[in-house]
Amino acid sequence: MSPELISSTFLLLLVLDPLGNVPFVQSLLRDLPAAGKRRVILRECAIATGVLLAFLFAGDRLLAVMHLSEPALEISGGLILFLIALRMVFPPAGHGAADTPARSEAFIVPLAVPMIAGPSALAMVLLASRQSGDPWLWVGAVLAASTVNTLILLISDPLARLFGRSGMEAMERLMGLILTTMAVQMLISGLKVAFAA
């Protein structure tokens, strides 16, 4: 794997936040048997991957139709990532799996969209489609990050038992700190280009 592919995959994986979604998945699918959980997770992750790839290829046309500039997209993407990162580092009161109502089976909403393919991930692939000279690099990043995300969600039960709730929260806060730095860098880059023009 090239360094660009590794960094793109890592950044997208931070935004997808599979570890932070483990309690949500457990709560949402707690009434399903193990085989049913695996089937739903695989299906919803595949749908989310398709949505991300669609935004990756259609993103440039969407930006052209809406007359959005690259600095505007980069600044707005940085703001979205920053807000998501803040929620990861400082979760709101009452945030947790216990607050999610149980359902027999999820279909597209809320597991595929917006939990996996959420606003921040869609904004990132839209920005990538505008900035990247090699869209296939981001196709590889989306597929690699989605694969890792799927594998983590498939082993959500043993992960939750291994780390416990406090361990999962600590890991999510660490990922949030890293994502905050990346969001600030996006803001700085966008503002530089905007004011230089």
- The confidence score (pLDDT) of residue 89 equals 84
Q: What pTM was estimated for this model as a whole? A: 0.75
Asked if residues 109 and 156 have their Cβ atoms less than 8 Å apart, the reply is: no
**In one letter, which amino acid is 12?**
L
pLDDT at 47: 96
Q: What is the pLDDT of residue 54?
A: 92
Give the distance between the most distant pair of CA atoms in the chain.
57
Taking the C-alpha atoms of residue 125 and residue 129, their distance in angstroms, rounded to an integer, is 6
| Parts of the chain with a pLDDT under 50 | 97-104
Distance (Å, rounded) from C-alpha 178 to C-alpha 197? 29
